[in-house]
Amino acid sequence: MELISLTPLDLSIAAILVLLTALLSQRLALGIERRLLIAAARTVVQLLLLGLVLKSLFAQSDPLFIAALALFMLLVAGYEVMARQHRGFTGIWGIGIGTLSMFISSFSVTLLALTVIIGVEPWYSVQYLIPLLGMQLGNTMSGIAVSLDRLTQTAWEQRSQIEARLMLGHSWREAIGEIRRNALRAGMIPIINAMAAAGVVSLPGMMTGQILAGSPPLEAAKYQILIMLLISSGTGFGATLAVWTGSRRLFDERQRLRLGRLRERISEKH
């Protein structure tokens, strides 16, 4: 079946629905209409620019340009993790924890998929590398952001209990152990829910896109299974590394709680 091309008018109709949602938010005093419209505008601009960039990369397949795009995606994801924290880490650690965690988890899982599972030649083929890496970074970013936010916020709220455990002779790992486990659970819940509902409640995005593009449904399903499994492992590895590094950062070398290393993000006014 031939792929049906979308016109600007088609996209405009979808945009009108977003505007109606923003008006509903204003009517109900939800206070999210501005963020919704900005996010929608960013989606349009960013995806159109990405389409133009990928079109150029498909024509050239230059490893340097591909590496530059992958690095840019990683840095933006690291910034977004920091921007979503109510109480984030100060200094370079604010962006460094999330960025490093995503680099180790997302890049390693994507590289494994390209070289061992799919067997792409060359492994940096932009047709496979950028979509796979983008899905890994996007989902890992969400898991890390939720985990770190839960970690820092709960540590702040339970600082007296943590300090009491330290005074009783507990190590920093024991003092914050339950908080760390709860943070990891929170970060993994979205991907667990997505996997549990896939094919029953929802039709995942990649599978939908492949079917709309004309791929056989069974082949699309196999690729979606691969992606979901890779995303779950990448999110788990990334969130674990981020929470471990972040919880260690909450204590100094003498195992004293140092919440002064956190900064409170100013709430947005609506």
Cis peptide leading into residue 122 (ω within 30°): yes
Tens of pLDDT along 112-138? Answer: 999 999 888 888 888 888 888 988 998
CA angle 190, 194, 199 (to 5 degrees): 175
What mean pLDDT, rounded, does the chain reach? 86
What pLDDT does 81 receive? 86
Please tell me the distance from the alpha carbon of residue 231 to that of residue 237, in angstroms, as a whole number: 10
Under DSSP, the state recorded for 120 is -
**What are the start-end ranges of the H helices in the chain?**
8-27, 33-60, 63-83, 93-102, 108-112, 126-157, 159-167, 172-175, 177-197, 205-212, 217-249
| 3 pLDDT more than 70 | no
Mean pLDDT of 160-180: 91
Tens of pLDDT along 33-90? Answer: 999 999 999 999 988 888 888 788 777 777 888 888 899 999 999 888 888 777 778 7
